Chain A
Amino acid sequence: MTVTRVAESRTEFKLKNLPEDAISSVKFAPKSSQFLLVSSWDCSVRLYDVTSNVERHKYNHELPVLDVCFRDAAHSYSGGLDQTLKMYDLNVSSETVLGEHKGAIRCVEFASEVNAVLTGSWDGTVKMWDSRVPNCVGTYNQGNERVYTMSIVGEKFVVGTSGRKIFVWDVRNMGHVNQRRESSLKYQTRCIRVFPNKQGYVLSSIEGRVAVEYLDSNPEVQKKKYAFKCHRIKDGGLEKIYPVNAISFHSVYNTFATGGSDGYVNIWDGFNKKRLCQFHRYNTAVSALSFSHDGSALAIACSQLDESQVEDPKPEDTIYIRYVTDQETKPK
């Protein structure tokens, strides 16, 4: 992959003291664009103060960490290959093991609506946990398919699994699945994010494609769903199609950014079917993205995930913080 060198500018900079291995997830704090949680394959979870560019906290799991999330400014939850869900109190630097899955924990989300933590695992289940004490509230089978991605906004909870299955839940009533769907994309689901306005969700696949879908099953509404191609690079006669690894919503404008293994980040206006902008090409695949709560900053994690299976010297794992402008994120 060609490396584009872009001079660090005021709008974009690299974090210091980065993890030593691939970055699996980045999450901005719920109410401030100052703090960023980062989970990594080097088994660590780190908290960065983005404004002063320092690492504030770090704790470890036994094995690589696949996802992390905030409860509030002072608490984080994380899970990974060691199959345990940890809660970390950032104020007093203490960790609590909340519980375990039978497989690696792929996704961790905090459901503020019910004050619970949700974990999705490769054991084919989603578990709901009391957010304060080690207490598993419930285990919800996801069709025995490995959970690959989850997203929750308010009560709308969408789970994407292997086998291209999608389960739509309501966290207030986890007694039954609201909707069981098959992905409208033909390839493996990579990432799902629910629109901040809860109308639908955006889904990406490994085959450079993104679908915009609506939760309302009314056929009139369903008509509006669509999919588009992206993150593809024509290289001579060969078109390389890259996985779309990450999606993050701008909570104010309902626009979203996608990051692909091609190293590009695009920002889209899903309702008007427009691409708003494309950033420069990053040094390697974009593995995770996170908009800050007000949409002013975008954290871009760049890590190669062996998608091309080339044994090259590994490109550096980096995290960029980009302060985005309205021009880049606001629907035109």
Chain B
Amino acid sequence: MGRKKKKASKPWCWYCNREFDDEKILIQHQKAKHFKCHICHKKLYTGPGLSIHCMQVHKEAIDKVPNSLPNRSNIEIEIYGMEGIPPEDIKEHEKQKTGGGKGSDSDDDEPAAKKKPTAALLGAGPSSVSAGILPTPMGQMPQGMYPGHAMSMNHMMPHFMQAPRMMMPGMRPLFPAASVPTSTPSKPTFPAYSNATISAPPTTSTSAAGSEPKENGEVKVPAANACPLVTATGAGSKIVHPPEDVSLEEIRARHAKYRPKPKPDAPQTIATSVANIMSASTSQAEVAAHMSAAVAAARQQAALRRPVMQQVVGVLPQQLQLQQLPQLQQLPQQLQLQQLQQLPRVGVPVSMPPVMLPMMPQFNIMRPIQPVVVACGVWWAERWGRGACGVGAPRDERVVCRHAGAGRDDADGYVRRRAGPAAALPVAAQAQATPLSQLALLDWRPPVPRPRPAPLLLL
């Protein structure tokens, strides 16, 4: 609609995306809005400056820049006017301004609503750092996503705890570059943030299906059954849709009451017919069907394996549990023990873990990885999003700059981090504790030469 596109050359504030006519005014704005100490109202010059001031003068740790957008609240990045803004953010900003990128976005044109320049840039916070992580309200996730099929959560959580990116929620980049596996100076300093500013990340591109290393060194989880995810556009918005990128009808069709009536004697056919109906073969329901088929088979093997079954039941969908549990609970504990002891005699090796039982291989083969990833991903993303700025982190884990006299001079190009315990951790542990996306934060960036403002530390 004949609206004039604004020139992108105006100075703008990285923290709040506001545009100014003059960089001087921008700096005034930043000092007044973002770099002002909330205790003594002293205006500092940079984010790190403010944090050091608060630490040293008031003994208070500041974890985010005041009045900033959720994904721009990083206090460690040094920005002064237009200087120090990560290049990809500048690019992104220009793109947004010129309406570049995909045509569909360029002409957003809702007659009723005014277009806000900041809206598009209001990318998700660190929560959208990696694929498969969805900023969905946490409360709904574990139960809401697959009602009655909470099993994969329980089952898979331990596994994902080991994955590097499943780091503690709310943790900040604590550990020094010692654990950085891949970092080259040419890389963007804050890839995580630049990713986050894409206003609407594509969700369904088939290329995303493979596991390709992303620019921040993070390997995308392969979409197990080419089932991409619906990721929300940003921290300030939420798409009211289940996280799986399949149509609402398909999701609804998985509901037990819409499935064809099961034939009791042919569990296998049930599974197949269910699979036919849901050609989106990623469904939990299908897994459940396969499992129930498998379980039915296993069940015929009667009492011998019951104790083991009970363990398995712990990860089964509720429906199955309902069927199985009464039966199992009737068994006196002693009897179970007895049976367990008898097991070796019938040829089941004692050392064999329950997962090796006949029913399990099928389950393993059929289990789609995706929903699990979703489940964990969302959960962590949620925690991470909430605690992204260190809010949730235990106090002693917060990043505190303790260098004596640390001021702007401390802008040695390294993002501040805590020295100390980290060094004591074995490298493997560090890698585990530091999310890949955050490792990039440790990239070295040459200090930006700029006019030196007045001395910072007036104690």
A residues with CB within 8 A of B? 22, 24, 41, 62-64, 66, 81-83, 102-104, 106, 122-124, 146, 148, 162-164, 184-188, 190, 206-209, 211, 225-230, 232, 237-243, 245, 261-262, 273-275, 278, 305-311
Contacts and interface: CB of A to CB of B under 8 A. Distances in A.
B252 A187 contact: no
Chain A binding surface, main DSSP class = loop
Contacts of A83: 276-277
A165 to B, nearest CB: 9
Nearest to A211: B104
B273 to A, nearest CB: 10
A232 B144 CA distance: 22
Q: Which interface class (under 10, 10 to 19, 20 to 34, 35 or more) fits B?
A: 35 or more
A310 B378 CA distance: 16
Contacts of B203: 186-188
Q: With a 10 A CB-CB cut-off, give which of B240, B259, B278 has the most chain A CB atoms.
A: B240
Given A122-B279, A227-B107, A305-B252, A310 B247 contact: no
A235 to B, nearest CB: 9
A307 B248 contact: yes
13 contacts: A103-B277, A122-B250, A122-B280, A146-B279, A184-B104, A186-B203, A188-B241, A225-B103, A230-B110, A239-B236, A275-B111, A309-B147, A309-B242
Contacts of A106: 247, 249
Contacts of B102: 184, 186
B238 A240 contact: yes
Interface of B: 1, 102-105, 107-113, 140, 144-145, 147, 200-204, 206, 230, 232-233, 236-242, 245-253, 258-260, 276-280
Closest 6 CB pairs of A and B: A239-B237, A227-B104, A226-B107, A309-B144, A184-B104, A305-B248
Contacts of B204: 162-164, 186-188
B140 to A, nearest CB: 6
B258 A243 contact: no
Nearest to A209: B104
Nearest to A224: B107
Contacts of B200: 186-187, 207
- Most B Cβ at <10 Å: residue of A164, A228, A241, A309: A309
Given A230-B110, A241-B233, A273-B109, A206 B239 contact: yes
Contacts of A309: 140, 144-145, 147, 242
Given A41-B258, A146-B280, A188-B245, A104 B104 contact: no
Given A188-B247, A307-B248, A206 B230 contact: yes
Contacts of A122: 250, 277-280
B103 A241 contact: no
B242 A306 contact: yes
B248 A243 contact: yes
Contacts of A311: 144, 147
Contacts of B147: 309, 311
B279 A243 contact: no
A147 to B, nearest CB: 10
Given A123-B279, A309-B144, A241 B238 contact: yes
Interface centre among A64, A228, A243 (most CB of B within 10 A): A228
